[in-house]
């Protein structure tokens, strides 16, 4: 790997990446009621479901029984949606309809933002899309938009969100920099979990990285442990060192780069400007704290080469996993529906050349 040539591409939070320009990300649109993204996250769906349950309780029995709404798992809600209990099914359908209307409204507001004008397609990531309820809400939101003659396509993200958040790291780097290596390390840091993995590029067979896949990954649910920031980084380092050892044992050649997706607005020096309040511990936005520098100190070399770390927003990285499959449009975006609503908008570099 040509260190000088590569280093110029490894800019944290970059707006210009090898395949796309990032027109905007993590934009926090507000109105008099607050952040509009709060109306289209997982919590918003559960609130709508709970509101409908309250109406049922006032008039008699709740079709969903005694279980608290916030304790219902995705599979349970999906089962109710398609089950034989028609009242329970109708209740869940009602929540889906209300959420779809909210999602369509949020999307309309994004499309009016300067950085989102001209968007042709939006991929929907995050854990919500992994449920039938989520996919139904996405499809219904697209239908609602079309009835208003808004011809935007909504498409669930291709990979599982956990894997998309790792695979997208490959697109933070130019494809040629991966030649001669089997893959690279990737990290996805969220408000509840930290996932680290080895992503295999398969670049010889697919130069556009369409066949990239997660070889091995490790998950730590830090929300259960409530660690301090330092302890969280130590645990992440242990996960990465374990993955390096496993790759070495299997004779997988890792590029000396760690790609990291993290909530918040990322500065070029690798510090977090704002938006990191849900990360484990505290002070991730402190001026003297720098996550890339901390990882490099702990892992100065990978396979005998100097380690580089490239950090970007987690929604940006998750969306980047779709780059190979977005070449038929010019401008596209991602919304990640989870505990929050992540967002990013992209313009394909190839499309820019044609204009």
Determine, yes or no, domain membership for 343.
no
| pLDDT value at residue 94 | 97
- What's the average model confidence in pLDDT over 267-274? 92
Closest residue by Cα to residue 248 from 302, 295, 199? 302
Q: Is the pTM of this model over 0.95?
A: no
pLDDT band, very low/low/confident/very high, at 224 (cuts 50, 70, 90): confident
| pLDDT value at residue 34 | 75
Q: Kindly report the CATH number assigned to the domain that includes residue 288.
A: 3.30.420.40
Determine, yes or no, domain membership for 331.
no
| pLDDT value at residue 6 | 46
- Same structural domain for residues 144 and 164? no
pLDDT band, very low/low/confident/very high, at 289 (cuts 50, 70, 90): very high
Mean of pLDDT over the chain: 91
- Same structural domain for residues 88 and 147? yes
| pLDDT value at residue 4 | 41
Instruction: Please count the residues of the chain.
Output: 355
Count of the separate structural domains present in the chain: 2
- Same structural domain for residues 148 and 184? no
Determine, yes or no, domain membership for 336.
no
Determine, yes or no, domain membership for 55.
yes
Determine, yes or no, domain membership for 209.
yes
Contact 124, 136 (CB under 8 A): no
- Same structural domain for residues 109 and 170? no
- What's the average model confidence in pLDDT over 257-285? 90
- What's the average model confidence in pLDDT over 272-290? 87
- What's the average model confidence in pLDDT over 329-333? 97
Percent of the chain at pLDDT > 70 equals: 96
| pLDDT value at residue 9 | 57
Determine the structural domain holding residue 145 and report its residue range: 30-156
Determine, yes or no, domain membership for 340.
no
| pLDDT value at residue 218 | 96
Q: Kindly report the CATH number assigned to the domain that includes residue 44.
A: 3.30.420
Determine, yes or no, domain membership for 330.
no
- Same structural domain for residues 182 and 316? yes
Choosing from 109, 134, 156, the residue where a domain stops is 156
Q: What is the pLDDT of residues 86-129, one digit of tens each?
A: 999 999 999 999 999 999 999 999 999 999 999 999 999 998 88
Q: What is the pLDDT of residues 54-82, one digit of tens each?
A: 999 998 889 999 899 999 999 999 999 99
Task: Say if residue 291's pLDDT is above 90.
Answer: yes
- What's the average model confidence in pLDDT over 231-236? 95
Between 16 and 352, where is the model more confident? Answer: 16
Q: What is the pLDDT of residues 142-194, one digit of tens each?
A: 999 999 999 999 999 999 988 999 999 999 998 888 889 999 999 999 888 99
Q: Of 34-48, 109-123, 332-346, which gets the smallest average pLDDT?
A: 34-48
- Same structural domain for residues 94 and 152? yes
């Amino acid at each position: 790997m040509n260190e000088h040539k590569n280093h110029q591409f490894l800019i944290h939070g970059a707006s210009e990446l090898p395949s796309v320009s990032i027109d905007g990300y993590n934009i926090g649109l507000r109105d008099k009621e607050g952040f509009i993204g709060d109306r289209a996250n997982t919590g918003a769906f559960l609130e709508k479901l709970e509101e409908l349950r309250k109406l049922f309780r006032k008039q008699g029995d709740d079709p969903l029984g005694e279980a608290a709404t916030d304790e219902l798992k995705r599979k349970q809600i999906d089962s109710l949606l398609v089950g034989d209990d028609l009242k329970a099914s109708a209740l869940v359908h009602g929540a889906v309809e209300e959420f779809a209307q909210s999602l369509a409204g949020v999307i309309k507001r994004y499309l009016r933002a300067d950085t989102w004008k001209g968007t042709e397609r939006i991929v929907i990531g995050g854990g919500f899309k992994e449920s039938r309820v989520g996919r139904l809400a996405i499809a219904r939101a697209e239908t609602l938009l079309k009835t208003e003659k808004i011809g935007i396509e909504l498409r669930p993200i291709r990979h599982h969100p956990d894997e998309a958040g790792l695979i997208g790291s490959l697109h933070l780097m130019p494809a040629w920099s991966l030649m001669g290596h089997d893959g690279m390390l990737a990290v996805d840091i969220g408000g509840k979990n930290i996932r680290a993995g080895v992503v295999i590029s398969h670049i010889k067979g697919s130069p556009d990285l369409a066949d990239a896949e997660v070889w091995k990954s490790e998950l730590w649910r830090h929300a259960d442990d409530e660690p301090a920031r330092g302890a969280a980084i130590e645990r992440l380092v242990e996960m990465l060192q374990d993955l390096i050892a496993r790759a070495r044992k299997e004779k997988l050649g890792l590029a000396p780069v760690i790609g990291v997706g993290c909530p918040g607005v990322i500065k070029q020096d690798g510090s977090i400007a704002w938006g990191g309040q849900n990360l484990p511990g505290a002070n991730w936005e402190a001026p003297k704290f720098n996550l890339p520098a901390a990882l490099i100190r702990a892992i100065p070399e990978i396979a005998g080469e100097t380690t580089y770390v490239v950090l970007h927003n987690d929604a940006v990285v998750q969306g980047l996993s779709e780059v190979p499959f977005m070449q038929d449009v010019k401008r596209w975006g991602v919304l990640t529906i989870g505990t929050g609503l992540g967002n990013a908008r992209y313009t394909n570099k190839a499309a820019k050349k044609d204009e």
